Amino acid sequence: MSKPLLLVATVASLSILAGCATHTQNPLDRYTYRGEPLVKQVETGMTRDRVLALGGEPSSTVDRRARPGTCNNYVLYREGKEQPYYVSFDGAGRVDGKGFLTCRQLEENQRN
């Protein structure tokens, strides 16, 4: 199977599986933004200071409601397009999640 066809089949399968979620992440975004420091280098357990050193100041920081901690909203830019990206922190200030949603979308997904 050719790579483009396999990619389309994978995206279609993931879209069907994610149909129940309020907000879904597009798997193509991970490929498109793979070189961005926030996507490439941020790992679970990393400190907030290290994330700020890699990604700079976030667009906003919000207190999380579903769990203790905070969430940073970032905007990634590539080829004239803007893509939201979040990095969430637990109560100890360590990364416990990241992805191609806003913090608000993350909270909505966690409530459902």
pTM of the model: 0.76
What is the predicted pLDDT for the residue at 8? 46
Give the phi and the psi of residue 34 in degrees, each rounded to 5: -60, -25
Give the phi and the psi of residue 43 in degrees, each rounded to 5: -130, 155
Sign of the C-alpha dihedral, residues 26, 97, 110, 85? negative
Identify which of 42, 28, 27, 46 has the alpha carbon closest to the alpha carbon of residue 74: 42
d(CA 57, CA 27): 25
pLDDT in tens, 66-96: 789 999 999 999 989 999 999 999 999 999 9
Can you list the residues of the chain whose pLDDT is less than 50?
5-9, 11-20
Q: Give the architecture-level CATH label for domain 3-111.
A: 2-Layer Sandwich (3.30)
